Amino acid sequence: MAIKYNVCLQCGAKQAAKIIYGMPTHDVKPKVERGEVVLGGCSLPKSSKDYHCKSCGFEWSREEAVDHAYQKITSIKANVGGFFGNSYEIDWHLPTGEVTHLQWENSRDEEPIRWNTTCVPSINAFQSTNLLRWKRNYQPEEMVLDGTSWSVEIRTEDKVIRKHGSNAYPETWEEFCGLMEQVSGKTFR
Ligand SMILES: [Zn+2]
């Protein structure tokens, strides 16, 4: 899973305690003793925090952990295409905003048409695609020959996350393609 909710957003310490609200049930007590859970009290505030760092005391919600994960993305490289027809690659480097769009009209062995532009980073738009929680691999139930395949490589400061598929897509694939087209100003699908 690409989003680690229980890593402290402030100091990076791992295995933060989960904050539990409301009247604790009997089986919660040993978890409190082991430091896995802290009790948040009986009243449920609307903007409740979900995790508590045992090292620095910082508290955060699941939504804040998601925001933080997307803010750490430094580049997105996406590929789509079939055996026949056009295929595309977009490489977006967020710190500089540089975008490279490549288009192959037939075989990938040929020289692609190259287009460079810049896009001011607006990674927040990608949160609604749930990109970081896509499965690693999407495949159809039945074999398809000569279909379309795709791949997405997401880099952060400390890791590379790869997703791919052929003839099967994440639910938000069309939305993702639309955003990549906005980033590059060129076709991507
Ligand atoms: Zn901390």
pLDDT in tens, 135-150: 999 999 887 777 899 9
pLDDT tens column, 76-103: 999 999 877 899 999 999 999 999 999 9
Are residues 179 and 126 in contact, defined by beta-carbon separation less than 8 angstroms? Answer: yes
Domain ranges of the chain: 16-69, 74-184
Pick the closest to residue 90 from 176, 161, 4 (CA basis). Answer: 176
Architecture of domain 74-184: 2-Layer Sandwich (3.30)
Q: Tell me, what's the pLDDT at 51?
A: 96
Q: How far does the centroid of ligand 1 lie from the alpha carbon of residue 14, in Å?
A: 8
Q: How far does the centroid of ligand 1 lie from the alpha carbon of residue 69, in Å?
A: 16
Q: Tell me, what's the pLDDT at 107?
A: 82
Q: Tell me, what's the pLDDT at 95?
A: 92
Q: How far does the centroid of ligand 1 lie from the alpha carbon of residue 164, in Å?
A: 34
Please list, residue by residue across 38-62, b when 16 or more beta carbons sit within 10 angstroms of its beta carbon and e when fewer do.
bbbeeeeeeeebbbbbeeeeebbbe
Torsion sign over Cα 103, 105, 107, 110:
negative
Q: Tell me, what's the pLDDT at 45?
A: 63
Pick the closest to residue 112 from 147, 86, 92 (CA basis). Answer: 86
Q: Which strands make up the sheet holding 51-52, listed edge to edge?
A: 37-41, 17-21, 51-52, 59-60
Q: How far does the centroid of ligand 1 lie from the alpha carbon of residue 15, in Å?
A: 10
Q: Tell me, what's the pLDDT at 157?
A: 86
Low-confidence ranges of the chain (pLDDT < 50): none
Q: Tell me, what's the pLDDT at 44?
A: 65
Q: How far does the centroid of ligand 1 lie from the alpha carbon of residue 47, in Å?
A: 19
